[in-house]
Structure 1
């Protein structure tokens, strides 16, 4: 019985070490991600559109890059501002991207390219594709 307890204790120690290594890697990735985010803050010269500079943040995830423009506008105003910069409002393709973005932004702080079509009674993205999220 003592031998069985020693074996279980050794397995528990090994699992703790494995989790600790995974947590260290996760913390390292979060620190690196935060560093990238802080380094990508830029100012746009939008004087041709608004008469003043606008704060913008951008970062990449996978093959996509995101730009967050900090300016109080209506949804339509934001859509137009994006078009002025040859950008579009955000379209989220899958659950992984949604989870990633939820870690990046403050709730209720940004407009995205999702709207409700009253005629069809569906939520759809900026490109008129119904949302599956």
Structure 2
């Protein structure tokens, strides 16, 4: 029994020592665990900050590339995609027919293809058309069908309003075009 008594006293004594030691051991564990968790948190935050900075730099770089590409596309003429068989130039699509038709038939053919006879807006466009059709004759979208001598483009804009006058001069030096 004495052994039991010692055991129980020892047991109680150990129990009471454990109860006394518990707060200090908890504090010791917390003093080790808290700094480690703070270090881990700081490491995670640093990693996230680095990732954010990296992605932010990538985003700024992509914004700059987008700005540059937009400027290039704005400055590029003729980047319009045309249907097969059509030629792109200056932001417009041109179809050079090989079928011989009169002006009205040509106009109607263009409309059936979701287009219209060409309206020439600049000397540069005229030069492009001339170089594309040197050996052939093509109709343009200018006519005086309603009133002889009053020239209208197919969109009903008067020739005088567009001031497009890039006609060939006759051998005698007179500007007698447009003509029929």
Structure 1 length as normaliser, TM-score? 0.51
- Residue in structure 2 matching 1:63, options 64, 83, 91: 91
Q: Is there any run of 5+ residues in structure 1 with no aligned partner, and where?
A: 1-39, 43-56
- Residue in structure 1 matching 2:153, options 101, 125, 129: 125
Moved over 3 A (4+): none
Q: Name the structure where strand makes up a greater proportion of residues.
A: 1
Q: What secondary structure, in the 3-state scheme, does the structure 1 residue paired with 2:86 have?
A: strand
Q: What secondary structure, in the 3-state scheme, does the structure 2 residue paired with 1:60 have?
A: strand
Identify the residue that residue 101 of structure 2 maps to in structure 1: 73
Does residue 1:82 correspond to 2:110, yes or no?
yes
After superposition, the C-alpha distances for 1:89-112 in whole angstroms (9 at most, x for unaligned) are: 111111111122111112661111
- Residue in structure 2 matching 1:105, options 121, 129, 133: 133
Q: Which has the higher contact order (CA 8 A, sep 6+)?
A: 1
- 1:77 to 1:91, Cα distance in 2 relative to 1, 3 A: same
- Using the TM superposition, give the Cα deviation of residue 59 of structure 1 relative to its aligned residue in structure 2, in angstroms: 1.3
User: Considering only CA atoms, is the larger Rg found in Structure 1 or Structure 2?
Assistant: 2
- Using the TM superposition, give the Cα deviation of residue 114 of structure 1 relative to its aligned residue in structure 2, in angstroms: 0.7
Q: Is there any run of 5+ residues in structure 2 with no aligned partner, and where?
A: 1-81, 166-180
Q: Name the structure where helix makes up a greater proportion of residues.
A: 2
Correspondence list, 1:19-30, <5 A = none
